[in-house]
Every structure is written in structure tokens, then in C-alpha cells.
Amino acid sequence: MLIEKIKTPGLSHLSYLVGSGGEAAVIDPRRDCEIYVDKARAAGLEITHIFETHRNEDLVSGAPAVASMTGAKVLHGPNSDGDVVYADTAREDDCFAIGQLEIRVLETPGHTDDHLAFALFDSAYPEKAVGVFTGDALFVGDVGRTDFYPDRKEEVAGRLYDSLQKILALGDQAIVYPAHGAGSVCGSGMAEREFSTLGHERLNNPRLQISDRAAFIRAKIEENHYQPPYFRLMERLNLEGGKPAPRVMRPSTVALAQLRKLDVDHVVDVREPMAFASGHFPGAISLPVGMISAFAGWFIGEGDSIALVASDQSQLASAMEHLVRIALDNVAGGYVGVVPAAAQGERMRSIPMIDTQEVARRLDEDGSDWTLLDVRDADERASAAIDKSQHIYVGHLNERWAELDRQRRYTLMCASGMRATVAAGWLDSKGFERVDIYLGSMGAWKAGKR
């Protein structure tokens, strides 16, 4: 008997392989899904069922591909806007045996209408559930977003409240297996810890401390969430069933001469932010490899062609993996080596880093042609902000850059300098030439006050 968590960094996505007695189930598989089949068979298990907690909006499901490799049945919740093409509909109390294990369906709408949770029982130790796959309903330290149906905000928040009561009724002893961990775009308050139980959540999860249904609804409605444009693409692909991932998860490599000729929609520099700032191809945008999952979907549209620029081949491969998982993988080529390109005569652009002292000096100076632009999210901004700074969320710069003035000087800031670099790179690619980055950003500002 096994339960193995397969974690996808970047997305902070958690999927699970559960097996017993030669049979296995996968919960919420990702697009590059050979790993589930390979691990299952290496353990002497054959995947017979694929359970999806809901139609994911932040990644492409691997369920159709796993089903085609194994013949397994896909189970999905009821959808009002049409059936998931590759799946059967599972309903409350449906039961599925995986060897000696039993998986029982709980309808748990709220985050999405079709959301299911799956309670896990061991038929040899049958008293109460041993665990529960909570999808995006319940996380460690947080509960699911309820902002996907703007017209029905209160209703869906209330439905989530009810769903959580249903889940909690499984008992304190049940281990919680959520679909995301800290860092996911599917929640902002998740704990860094990835192991918990219903009992521990009942006692500690801040959202579960709100016992009153109405208060819970009010709290949820007040939350700020962002919906990057690629969410709609994910939703459509996860209804229709997306194409399988490429067989080799590396982009084709291109030389400088070829790179120059590629006529792509985006040159995406995936090196670390400080390297990008020091020098990058004119027109390139900055999406450090670890930030692709969270931010690529703001700046890259469906089908957009991409050239990648990286520090080394393994970074290229990682970038490709992240892009494949969100189906923004129309990658025409990958190039390694910015210094070598410079040594072949390629002009590079750079963006200066400035420090707290300089920011403070400029604030004091109060020059009318300079803006300190804070790109953090609304919650961070609400908790503390530098006086006189202005605010546009980094993701919103995908469209709102047009509101800015190319003649002005802008210093980009966030919590540390990472998102500020992404923002600065975006403006730089749009022809803003008087941009710099506050290295350390809000963290440094606060530390400087001490």
C-alpha cells in the first residue's frame, strides 16, 4: 500500500498516487504525466482510476493522457456548463475500490461548482477515514478561493463553508491531502508545511476558526485575488482535454544567428533577476525560471511564440517544463549565453539596481519626474507601503503599462526585488528607458528603519 505525493514546484501543485493490491489511483495529475504511470508500475501497481477534485484553472490536467496510457477511468464532478469530455461524472457517496483501499466521493462545491473531495478508507481498518483529498477546498492553513463566480460571490462562499463542514465531519483523525502548497496562485495564506490532519486544521487553520457562516462569507468576500488571463485557457483545455506533453521536455537549442532570425512574440529571459538586470537582449522580458508558473500567464497569451534565454541547459529544461504545464509552450528555441552573445557584438540593455539610501534620497528630493512604483499585491500593499509610492500589481502591468509615461523615471519595487525585476523587464521591453529596481524593496525599507 502506498500514497505518494508528487509535487510540482512553481505551481506548488500536489498530486497523489495511491495504491494497494496491484491497483492504483491518481488524484489531480499534471500534464507531464509519465511519472505516475512509471511510478505505479515500478511499484507493481496499475492505475485504474483518475480522480480530479475540480477543473483546474492554473495547470493543464494530465488525466486524459494517463487514461490513454493505462485505460483508467477518469472521475470528475458535475459541471453545469458541459461535461468534461474525457471523464465520467462522480456523485456524492460514489465509492471506488483500489485494492484494499476505498475512495468515497464528497461533493464540495465552493471554490468551483464541480469541486469534489475524496475520502480515503482502509477496508482492513475501517473505522473512519484515514485521509481526505481536499483539492482546492481546504489547504494547510487556508481554504480555497471563492472569486471565480463574481456574480455569485456570497453563494459560493457559503457553499464552501458548507463543504468544509462536510469535510470536517470526516473526523479529526483524517490526514489532509490538498492540491496545493505554499506558493500556489490558488491561495495566499497557505502554510509552508505540507502535512496536516482535519483535527489540526480544525484547531489551527485561521479560516476554520470562523464558526459563523455569515462571518465566513464576509471574510471570503473581502479577500483580494488575481486571475491571470491564462486561467481561461486552462479551463477550456481541462474541459476538452489538452494535448499530451512533448516527449522531450527541452526546447530546441538555437545559436545566436538563429535567435536573431526567430520572429517570436516574446523573448523570455529566465535567468535569475540580478543577471537580467545586469544585461539582457533588447526587447526581452524577465521571467526567472521559478516565477514562470506564477507570472507567465499574465504576460504570455495562448499560442504566443517564445524564445527562451537561459544561463545553462538545465535552466532551459526547467523553464520548458513550467511552460508545458500551463500550455504556454510554443517555444521556438532556447538560447544559452548572454555574455557570449555580447562578445559577438550583440548590444545588451541593463537596468540599474538602487538601494534604500537612494530611494530615500529621491523621496526626499521629491522630483516631479520620478515615480516609485509598487507592484506587490493588494494585501501586501494594504499591510504596509512607502508613502508617495504608487501601486499597480505586477500582473496588471500586462495591460496597465500603457497608462505609464515613457518619459518619466520609474523605480520598481515589490517585497524583495524579484517581482520588481519582472515588472522592470516588462516596461523595458515596452520602450521605457528610465527604469530602475529597488533591490531589497519593502524588506530592505523596513530593515532600514530599525
Residues 138-167 that bind a second copy (CB under 8 A): 141
Residue 283 near a second copy by CB under 8 A: no
Instruction: State in angstroms the smallest separation of the CB of 294 from a second copy.
Output: 16
Q: Is 254 in the site for a second copy (CB under 8 A)?
A: yes
Verify binding: residue 46, a second copy, rule CB under 8 A. yes
Q: Give dist(CA 106, CA 129) in Å, integer.
A: 12
In terms of Cα–Cα distance, which of 60, 87, 61 is closest to 74?
87
From candidates 219, 317, 363, 386, binder to a second copy by CB under 8 A? 317
Strand 409-413 relative to strand 370-374: parallel, antiparallel, unpaired? parallel
CA distance 90 to 77: 5
Q: Which three cell numbers stand for residue 110?
A: 465552493
| Largest CA-CA distance found in the chain, in angstroms, rounded | 73
How far apart are alpha carbons 29 and 131 in whole angstroms? Answer: 18
Q: Between residues 82 and 261, which has the closer beta carbon with respect to a second copy?
A: 261
Among 214, 255, 378, 384, binds a second copy (CB under 8 A): 255
300 or 331: CB nearest a second copy: 331
Residue 30: CB atoms within 10 A of its CB come to: 27
Q: Which is nearer to a second copy, 353 or 373 (CB)?
A: 353
Report if residue 200 touches a second copy, rule: CB under 8 A: yes
* Residue 55: closest CA among 213, 224, 179: 179
CA dihedral 363, 365, 367, 373 (to 10 degrees): -10
Q: At closest approach, how far in Å is the CB of 24 from a second copy?
A: 9
Applying the rule CB under 8 A, the residues between 175 and 194 that interact with a second copy are 175, 191-194
Task: Indicate the length of the chain as a whole number.
Answer: 450
Instruction: Choose, by CB under 8 A, the member of 50, 75, 130, 239 that binds a second copy.
Output: 130
CA angle 271, 258, 306 (to 5 degrees): 50
For 26, the grid coordinates are 491518481
- For residue 262, state whether it binds a second copy (rule: CB under 8 A): no
* Contact with a second copy (CB under 8 A) among 165, 224, 314, 390: 314
Could you tell me if 101 and 88 are in contact, meaning their C-beta atoms sit under 8 angstroms apart? no
Total interface residues for a second copy by CB under 8 A: 103
Q: Does 174 bind a second copy (CB under 8 A)?
A: yes
| Interaction of residue 73 with a second copy, rule CB under 8 A | no
Q: Which is nearer to a second copy, 239 or 292 (CB)?
A: 292
State yes or no: residue 198 binds a second copy (CB under 8 A). Answer: yes
Residue 332 engages a second copy in binding (rule: CB under 8 A): no
